[in-house]
Amino acid sequence: MELIPVLFITALLAGYFVLAGCDIGLGMLMPYLARTRGERRRAVSAAAPYFLGTEVWLVGAIGAVAGLFPGLKAAVVTDLWPVFAVLLAGWLLRDAGLWFRARAEAPSWHGLWDAAIVGGSWTVAVCWGLASGALLAGGSLASPFVPAVAAVVVVLFLLRGAAFGAERLVPPGSEADEAGEAGDALPAGRSPHTAVSADTAARLTRVLARAGLAVLAVAVPLGALSGALDGGRPLAAGAGAALVAVALAATAGTEGPGRSRHTSAVAMGVLVPAVGVGAAPPVEPVPGAVLTLVAVALAPVVPLMVVGQVALYRMVRRPAPATGFFARVAPVPAPAGTGALAGAARFRPTAVGGPQERESHGA
């Protein structure tokens, strides 16, 4: 009977890595992919809508582990205290950066929070790498196997971010937005820059896939030779590594960038069960009363969880807008000669319910 909670938690964690890998990865790549202020604003605008919806998977997973498998939680989190403490710090800084960035206009403000986003994203990825390596190595950070695994995990995050960026950094002018928005065509100088970010990201996926294969080629023998997995299930970990290698190989070829969205998702998704099964952490059966309590309390709201997530991803799947809650443009001053009132009449927000036909205003 403990299979169902284990599967549920594995699904939550895998979901976190697959989904949050996108925004974490993009945050890590920001200094490389986004050089100008506009590009950086667009990169943040691409990552930000996701993080709110993706981090809840991790919060739920931690809660589920703490409540249903406290022994597992002790073995994983408490025993790796420094790694998880630093991960928490990085997570905190990254979220703060994403949320506060667009709240003021000063470049120094943006620079500060951009640094928090990039630094926080790298911290989180590296810590997950160290945690995965330490778990596979039987709970100790000392083995040389650990940094090798950490490197693989970091590359997987970068790959996921690059695949995400290849899609989401495409400027809206080149897609569905052309209907009725022709008047908003970006000035000639702007589109090439933002398109460059997406192209760079796409090309990066191949480089990262090859780097990932290289690191994997180091990690697997290290794991086999150092005896790190003796306490666990080396075959399961090996199978996981093989699947990751296949996904990376599919991305490493010329057709790779086009498929990278799916292959990077597969690689990330395999990571969780590979580490979870391979490390063989202690899992005790969940007592009946606890399982009943949690199952009965959650059953009515699971549909809401699913519906909400699906709706959120469909909504933010469209190309990243240039402005929004997480990435605002500095307000343009009203054209000279117009009074405040005339400007206000011109600048009426769209009515609730969607853009509608509006009568032309007399001068």
Partner 1 sequence: MLDDPLALARLQFAFTAATHYMFVALTLGLAPYILFNQLTAVLKRDEARMRAVRFWGGLYVLNYAMGILSGLVMELQLALNWSGLSDMFGYAFGAPLAVETMGAFFIESTFLGLWIFGWDRMGRWAHWACFLVVTATAYASAYWVLVANGFLKWPSGFRIEDGTAVLDSPWALLGNPSTLMAFGHVATSALLVGAAVIAAVSASHLRRGHDPDRMFHRGIRHAVAILLVAVFPVVAVGGAQFILYGQEPPTSGMTYSAEEIAAIEADRSPAVEAVGRIGGDVVMMTSWLLITVVAATGAVVWLVRRLDRARWFHWVLIALPVLPYLASIGGWVFRETERQPWVVRHHLTTADAMTDLSPAMAVASFAFFTAAFTALAAVTVWLLVRFARRGPEGGPLAPAPAESDREGGEPVPARTL
Question: Which of residues 4, 7, 85, 235 is near partner 1 by CB under 8 A?
Answer: 85
Query: For residue 65, what are the contacts with CB-CB under 8 A and spacing of at least 6?
Result: 9, 72, 73, 76, 77
Locus of tokens 């950066």 = 97
Identify which of residues 74 and 235 has a Cβ nearer to partner 1 in the complex: 74
Closest separation in Å from C-beta 300 to partner 1: 8
> Do 164 and 205 meet the contact criterion of CB atoms below 8 Å apart?
no
Site for partner 1 in 104-133 (CB under 8 A): 104
For the record, the structure tokens of 344 come out as 């206000």
Closest separation in Å from C-beta 90 to partner 1: 11
Closest separation in Å from C-beta 332 to partner 1: 6
The reply to whether 17 sits near partner 1 by the rule CB under 8 A is no
CA distances to 147, 234, 246 from 267, rounded to whole Å, are: 19, 18, 9
Question: Which of residues 11, 52, 207, 213 is near partner 1 by CB under 8 A?
Answer: 52
Question: Which of residues 19, 29, 33, 62 is near partner 1 by CB under 8 A?
Answer: 62
Site for partner 1 in 177-196 (CB under 8 A): 183-187
Site for partner 1 in 292-311 (CB under 8 A): 292-294, 296-298, 301, 304-305, 308-309, 311
Identify which of residues 32 and 100 has a Cβ nearer to partner 1 in the complex: 100
Query: For residue 11, what are the contacts with CB-CB under 8 A and spacing of at least 6?
Result: none
Identify which of residues 60 and 240 has a Cβ nearer to partner 1 in the complex: 60
Identify which of residues 97 and 269 has a Cβ nearer to partner 1 in the complex: 97
Question: Which of residues 17, 56, 146, 198 is near partner 1 by CB under 8 A?
Answer: 56
Instruction: Please say whether the dihedral angle defined by the alpha carbons of residues 189, 350, 326 and 178, taken in this order, is positive or negative.
Output: negative
Query: Which stretch of DSSP H or E encloses residue 256?
Result: helix 256-279
The reply to whether 88 sits near partner 1 by the rule CB under 8 A is yes
Identify which of residues 114 and 205 has a Cβ nearer to partner 1 in the complex: 114
CA distances to 201, 244, 247 from 260, rounded to whole Å, are: 11, 13, 9
**Full 3-state SS string of 25-49:** HHHHHHHHHCCCHHHHHHHHHHHHH
Number of residues that bind partner 1 (CB under 8 A): 82
Identify which of residues 254 and 353 has a Cβ nearer to partner 1 in the complex: 353
**Binding piece for partner 1, criterion CB under 8 A, among 26-34, 122-130, 131-139, 349-357:** 349-357
**If you ran DSSP here, which 8-state letter would residue 326 be given?**
T
Query: Which stretch of DSSP H or E encloses residue 349?
Result: none
The reply to whether 101 sits near partner 1 by the rule CB under 8 A is no
Identify which of residues 262 and 317 has a Cβ nearer to partner 1 in the complex: 317
> What residues pair up with 324 in beta bridges, in sequence order?
327
The reply to whether 100 sits near partner 1 by the rule CB under 8 A is yes
Question: Which of residues 92, 115, 141, 239 is near partner 1 by CB under 8 A?
Answer: 92
The reply to whether 317 sits near partner 1 by the rule CB under 8 A is no
Question: Which of residues 21, 38, 60, 161 is near partner 1 by CB under 8 A?
Answer: 60
Q: What is d(CA 109, CA 96) in angstroms, rounded to the nearest whole number?
A: 12
Identify which of residues 5 and 240 has a Cβ nearer to partner 1 in the complex: 5
For the record, the structure tokens of 251 come out as 């991305």
> Do 146 and 130 meet the contact criterion of CB atoms below 8 Å apart?
yes
Identify which of residues 15 and 269 has a Cβ nearer to partner 1 in the complex: 15
Query: For residue 158, what are the contacts with CB-CB under 8 A and spacing of at least 6?
Result: 25, 28, 29, 125, 204, 208
CA distances to 118, 170, 234, 271 from 32, rounded to whole Å, are: 11, 16, 36, 25
Site for partner 1 in 258-287 (CB under 8 A): 287
Site for partner 1 in 193-252 (CB under 8 A): none
Count other Cβ atoms within 10 Å, centred on residue 204: 23
